[in-house]
Protein backbone atom coordinates (compact mmCIF):
# COMPACT_ATOMS: atom_id res chain seq x y z
CA UNK A 1 0.00 0.00 0.00
CA UNK A 2 1.32 3.42 -0.96
CA UNK A 3 0.49 6.95 0.17
CA UNK A 4 -2.11 8.56 -2.10
CA UNK A 5 -4.92 11.09 -2.23
CA UNK A 6 -8.55 10.00 -2.01
CA UNK A 7 -11.65 12.04 -2.81
CA UNK A 8 -15.16 11.89 -1.37
CA UNK A 9 -17.45 13.63 -3.83
CA UNK A 10 -20.47 15.62 -2.72
CA UNK A 11 -23.38 15.98 -5.14
CA UNK A 12 -26.83 17.48 -5.32
CA UNK A 13 -28.42 14.81 -7.50
CA UNK A 14 -31.88 15.37 -8.97
CA UNK A 15 -34.48 13.28 -10.84
CA UNK A 16 -32.47 13.85 -14.05
CA UNK A 17 -30.05 11.09 -15.06
CA UNK A 18 -28.02 12.99 -17.62
CA UNK A 19 -27.64 16.17 -15.54
CA UNK A 20 -26.45 14.05 -12.63
CA UNK A 21 -23.88 12.20 -14.72
CA UNK A 22 -22.61 15.52 -16.09
CA UNK A 23 -22.29 16.84 -12.52
CA UNK A 24 -20.48 13.67 -11.45
CA UNK A 25 -18.05 13.96 -14.34
CA UNK A 26 -17.23 17.59 -13.47
CA UNK A 27 -16.56 16.69 -9.85
CA UNK A 28 -14.43 13.66 -10.73
CA UNK A 29 -12.41 15.93 -13.01
CA UNK A 30 -12.02 18.42 -10.13
CA UNK A 31 -10.83 15.65 -7.80
CA UNK A 32 -8.36 14.25 -10.33
CA UNK A 33 -6.94 17.72 -11.04
CA UNK A 34 -6.14 17.90 -7.32
CA UNK A 35 -4.32 14.58 -7.47
CA UNK A 36 -6.91 12.05 -6.31
CA UNK A 37 -6.26 8.43 -7.30
CA UNK A 38 -9.28 6.93 -5.52
CA UNK A 39 -12.64 8.65 -6.00
CA UNK A 40 -15.98 7.88 -4.35
CA UNK A 41 -19.39 9.01 -5.63
CA UNK A 42 -22.34 9.14 -3.22
CA UNK A 43 -25.39 6.94 -2.98
CA UNK A 44 -27.96 7.74 -5.70
CA UNK A 45 -25.34 9.69 -7.64
CA UNK A 46 -27.12 9.14 -10.95
CA UNK A 47 -30.72 9.70 -9.84
CA UNK A 48 -32.36 11.03 -6.67
CA UNK A 49 -35.73 12.55 -5.93
CA UNK A 50 -38.87 10.87 -7.20
CA UNK A 51 -39.15 7.14 -6.55
CA UNK A 52 -41.85 6.57 -9.14
CA UNK A 53 -39.79 8.16 -11.89
CA UNK A 54 -36.74 6.18 -10.75
CA UNK A 55 -38.55 2.90 -11.03
CA UNK A 56 -39.86 3.68 -14.52
CA UNK A 57 -36.31 4.47 -15.66
CA UNK A 58 -34.52 1.87 -13.55
CA UNK A 59 -33.14 -0.17 -16.42
CA UNK A 60 -31.82 2.90 -18.24
CA UNK A 61 -30.34 4.31 -15.02
CA UNK A 62 -28.60 1.00 -14.31
CA UNK A 63 -27.12 0.68 -17.78
CA UNK A 64 -25.96 4.29 -18.06
CA UNK A 65 -24.61 4.41 -14.51
CA UNK A 66 -22.41 1.36 -15.04
CA UNK A 67 -21.29 2.59 -18.45
CA UNK A 68 -20.46 5.99 -16.97
CA UNK A 69 -18.41 4.56 -14.10
CA UNK A 70 -16.31 2.39 -16.41
CA UNK A 71 -15.76 5.17 -18.96
CA UNK A 72 -14.90 7.75 -16.27
CA UNK A 73 -12.42 5.42 -14.58
CA UNK A 74 -10.70 4.86 -17.93
CA UNK A 75 -10.78 8.49 -18.99
CA UNK A 76 -9.41 9.84 -15.71
CA UNK A 77 -7.22 6.80 -14.96
CA UNK A 78 -8.46 6.43 -11.39
CA UNK A 79 -10.28 3.85 -9.30
CA UNK A 80 -13.92 4.91 -8.81
CA UNK A 81 -16.67 3.77 -6.46
CA UNK A 82 -20.20 4.45 -7.67
CA UNK A 83 -21.83 4.58 -4.27
CA UNK A 84 -25.31 3.41 -5.14
CA UNK A 85 -27.63 3.15 -8.12
CA UNK A 86 -30.69 1.03 -8.94
CA UNK A 87 -30.32 -2.26 -10.79
CA UNK A 88 -33.54 -4.12 -11.70
CA UNK A 89 -34.20 -7.17 -9.55
CA UNK A 90 -37.31 -9.35 -9.18
CA UNK A 91 -40.93 -8.45 -8.44
CA UNK A 92 -40.66 -5.01 -10.01
CA UNK A 93 -38.04 -3.86 -7.52
CA UNK A 94 -34.34 -2.98 -7.73
CA UNK A 95 -31.11 -3.62 -5.89
CA UNK A 96 -29.18 -0.64 -4.56
CA UNK A 97 -25.74 -1.41 -5.99
CA UNK A 98 -22.31 0.01 -5.14
CA UNK A 99 -19.76 -0.67 -7.87
CA UNK A 100 -15.97 -0.39 -7.68
CA UNK A 101 -14.13 0.05 -11.00
CA UNK A 102 -10.39 0.18 -11.77
CA UNK A 103 -8.55 2.59 -14.12
CA UNK A 104 -8.88 0.16 -17.02
CA UNK A 105 -12.66 0.23 -16.66
CA UNK A 106 -12.86 -3.27 -15.21
CA UNK A 107 -15.26 -4.10 -12.41
CA UNK A 108 -13.40 -4.92 -9.20
CA UNK A 109 -16.25 -5.49 -6.81
CA UNK A 110 -19.97 -4.88 -6.32
CA UNK A 111 -22.22 -4.84 -3.27
CA UNK A 112 -26.00 -5.02 -2.96
CA UNK A 113 -27.06 -2.86 -0.02
CA UNK A 114 -28.39 -5.07 2.77
CA UNK A 115 -29.81 -2.58 5.31
CA UNK A 116 -32.84 -0.73 3.92
CA UNK A 117 -33.92 2.65 5.27
CA UNK A 118 -37.49 2.15 6.53
CA UNK A 119 -37.91 4.97 9.05
CA UNK A 120 -40.51 7.45 10.33
CA UNK A 121 -38.62 10.57 11.35
CA UNK A 122 -39.77 13.16 13.92
CA UNK A 123 -39.74 15.86 11.24
CA UNK A 124 -42.73 14.17 9.58
CA UNK A 125 -40.86 12.53 6.72
CA UNK A 126 -41.31 8.82 6.13
CA UNK A 127 -38.86 6.69 4.19
CA UNK A 128 -39.64 3.17 2.96
CA UNK A 129 -36.69 2.01 0.90
CA UNK A 130 -38.05 -1.53 0.97
CA UNK A 131 -41.05 -0.43 -1.12
CA UNK A 132 -38.78 -0.30 -4.17
CA UNK A 133 -35.52 -2.00 -3.16
CA UNK A 134 -34.68 -5.66 -2.55
CA UNK A 135 -32.17 -6.13 0.27
CA UNK A 136 -28.93 -7.86 -0.60
CA UNK A 137 -28.23 -11.15 1.15
CA UNK A 138 -24.43 -11.09 1.39
CA UNK A 139 -21.94 -9.26 3.56
CA UNK A 140 -20.09 -6.57 1.60
CA UNK A 141 -16.77 -7.49 0.03
CA UNK A 142 -13.25 -6.27 0.74
CA UNK A 143 -11.27 -5.67 -2.42
CA UNK A 144 -7.50 -6.18 -1.96
CA UNK A 145 -5.26 -3.61 -3.63
CA UNK A 146 -1.49 -3.51 -3.30
CA UNK A 147 -1.45 0.21 -4.09
CA UNK A 148 -4.64 1.54 -2.46
CA UNK A 149 -5.00 -0.85 0.48
CA UNK A 150 -7.87 -3.23 1.17
CA UNK A 151 -11.12 -1.46 0.30
CA UNK A 152 -14.32 -2.35 2.18
CA UNK A 153 -17.71 -1.42 0.73
CA UNK A 154 -20.95 -0.32 2.38
CA UNK A 155 -23.83 2.05 1.63
CA UNK A 156 -25.44 4.80 3.76
CA UNK A 157 -27.80 3.23 6.36
CA UNK A 158 -25.27 0.41 6.82
CA UNK A 159 -23.25 2.86 8.94
CA UNK A 160 -25.63 2.27 11.86
CA UNK A 161 -24.73 -1.43 12.00
CA UNK A 162 -21.24 -1.79 13.48
CA UNK A 163 -21.14 -5.56 13.01
CA UNK A 164 -20.94 -5.03 9.24
CA UNK A 165 -17.78 -2.94 9.62
CA UNK A 166 -16.29 -5.35 12.13
CA UNK A 167 -16.71 -8.02 9.45
CA UNK A 168 -14.89 -5.78 6.97
CA UNK A 169 -12.04 -5.15 9.42
CA UNK A 170 -11.77 -8.87 10.14
CA UNK A 171 -11.47 -9.38 6.38
CA UNK A 172 -8.48 -7.03 6.39
CA UNK A 173 -10.01 -3.70 5.37
CA UNK A 174 -7.77 -0.63 5.56
CA UNK A 175 -10.27 1.80 4.00
CA UNK A 176 -14.04 1.77 4.55
CA UNK A 177 -16.33 3.36 1.98
CA UNK A 178 -19.60 4.85 3.29
CA UNK A 179 -21.29 6.54 0.30
CA UNK A 180 -24.55 8.10 1.45
CA UNK A 181 -27.63 10.21 0.90
CA UNK A 182 -28.07 10.93 4.62
CA UNK A 183 -31.17 12.92 5.51
CA UNK A 184 -30.72 16.49 6.73
CA UNK A 185 -32.66 15.70 9.92
CA UNK A 186 -30.59 12.70 11.03
CA UNK A 187 -27.34 13.93 9.55
CA UNK A 188 -27.00 16.93 11.82
CA UNK A 189 -26.87 14.67 14.88
CA UNK A 190 -25.54 11.34 13.68
CA UNK A 191 -23.52 11.51 10.44
CA UNK A 192 -20.11 12.64 11.66
CA UNK A 193 -20.15 10.77 14.95
CA UNK A 194 -21.08 7.49 13.24
CA UNK A 195 -18.30 7.88 10.68
CA UNK A 196 -15.79 8.64 13.42
CA UNK A 197 -16.98 5.65 15.46
CA UNK A 198 -16.60 3.27 12.52
CA UNK A 199 -13.09 4.62 11.88
CA UNK A 200 -12.00 4.45 15.53
CA UNK A 201 -13.39 1.04 16.44
CA UNK A 202 -11.94 -0.59 13.31
CA UNK A 203 -8.75 1.50 13.06
CA UNK A 204 -9.50 2.20 9.39
CA UNK A 205 -9.73 5.21 7.13
CA UNK A 206 -13.32 6.12 6.22
CA UNK A 207 -14.21 7.72 2.88
CA UNK A 208 -17.79 9.02 2.94
CA UNK A 209 -19.12 10.63 -0.27
CA UNK A 210 -22.45 12.39 0.30
CA UNK A 211 -25.53 13.99 -1.15
CA UNK A 212 -26.43 17.55 -0.18
CA UNK A 213 -29.33 19.97 -0.51
CA UNK A 214 -32.86 19.52 -1.84
CA UNK A 215 -33.62 16.77 -4.36
CA UNK A 216 -37.36 17.40 -4.68
CA UNK A 217 -40.05 19.20 -2.67
CA UNK A 218 -39.60 16.96 0.37
CA UNK A 219 -36.23 15.25 0.31
CA UNK A 220 -33.16 17.06 1.65
CA UNK A 221 -29.69 15.62 2.33
CA UNK A 222 -27.21 16.63 5.00
CA UNK A 223 -24.01 17.05 2.97
CA UNK A 224 -20.63 17.02 4.71
CA UNK A 225 -18.89 14.41 2.60
CA UNK A 226 -15.76 13.62 4.55
CA UNK A 227 -12.65 11.57 5.02
CA UNK A 228 -11.78 10.36 8.53
CA UNK A 229 -8.48 8.85 9.64
CA UNK A 230 -8.09 5.71 11.84
CA UNK A 231 -7.83 7.84 14.99
CA UNK A 232 -11.19 9.46 14.20
CA UNK A 233 -9.77 12.77 13.03
CA UNK A 234 -11.78 14.44 10.27
CA UNK A 235 -9.22 15.13 7.55
CA UNK A 236 -11.57 16.76 5.03
CA UNK A 237 -15.20 17.97 5.07
CA UNK A 238 -16.98 19.22 1.95
CA UNK A 239 -19.44 21.35 3.91
CA UNK A 240 -22.90 21.89 2.41
CA UNK A 241 -22.24 22.79 -1.24
CA UNK A 242 -21.53 20.31 -4.03
CA UNK A 243 -17.79 19.71 -4.20
CA UNK A 244 -15.01 17.40 -3.12
CA UNK A 245 -13.37 16.40 0.17
CA UNK A 246 -9.77 15.32 -0.46
CA UNK A 247 -7.21 13.88 1.94
CA UNK A 248 -4.16 11.65 2.01
CA UNK A 249 -4.43 7.96 2.84
CA UNK A 250 -1.15 7.19 4.62
CA UNK A 251 -0.09 3.61 5.36
CA UNK A 252 2.33 4.90 8.00
CA UNK A 253 -0.56 6.55 9.87
CA UNK A 254 -2.59 3.35 9.65
CA UNK A 255 0.30 1.35 11.09
CA UNK A 256 0.94 3.94 13.80
CA UNK A 257 -2.65 3.96 15.06
CA UNK A 258 -2.93 0.17 14.96
CA UNK A 259 0.31 -0.12 16.91
CA UNK A 260 -0.65 2.49 19.52
CA UNK A 261 -4.25 1.30 19.90
CA UNK A 262 -4.29 -2.46 19.12
CA UNK A 263 -7.93 -2.87 20.19
CA UNK A 264 -8.75 -5.36 17.44
CA UNK A 265 -6.13 -7.71 18.90
CA UNK A 266 -7.71 -7.41 22.37
CA UNK A 267 -11.21 -8.56 21.44
CA UNK A 268 -12.69 -11.10 23.84
CA UNK A 269 -16.09 -11.80 22.26
CA UNK A 270 -15.73 -12.77 18.63
- Residue 204 among the catalytic residues: no
- Residue 156 among the catalytic residues: yes
Please report how the helices 58-76 and 17-33 are oriented relative to each other, as an axis angle in degrees rounded to 10.
Answer: 20
Catalytic residue chosen out of the listed positions 37, 51, 54, 113 = 113
- Residue 43 among the catalytic residues: yes
Catalytic residue chosen out of the listed positions 43, 51, 64, 112 = 43
Catalytic residue chosen out of the listed positions 54, 70, 112, 156 = 156
Angle at 185 between CA 22 and CA 113, to 5 degrees: 60
Residue spans of beta strands (DSSP E) within the chain: 4-11, 36-41, 79-88, 94-101, 107-112, 118-120, 126-128, 142-143, 151-152, 175-177, 205-208, 210-214, 220-222, 226-228, 234-237, 243-249
Active site residues: 43, 113, 156
Amino acid sequence: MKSYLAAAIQMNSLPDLHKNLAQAEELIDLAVRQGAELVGLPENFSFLGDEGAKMVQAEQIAQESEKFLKMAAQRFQVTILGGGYPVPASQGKVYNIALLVDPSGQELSRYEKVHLFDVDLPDGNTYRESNTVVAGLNMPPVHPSKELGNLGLSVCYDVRFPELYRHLSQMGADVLFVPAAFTAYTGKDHWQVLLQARAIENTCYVIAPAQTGHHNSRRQSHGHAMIVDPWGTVLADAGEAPGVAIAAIEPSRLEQVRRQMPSLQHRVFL
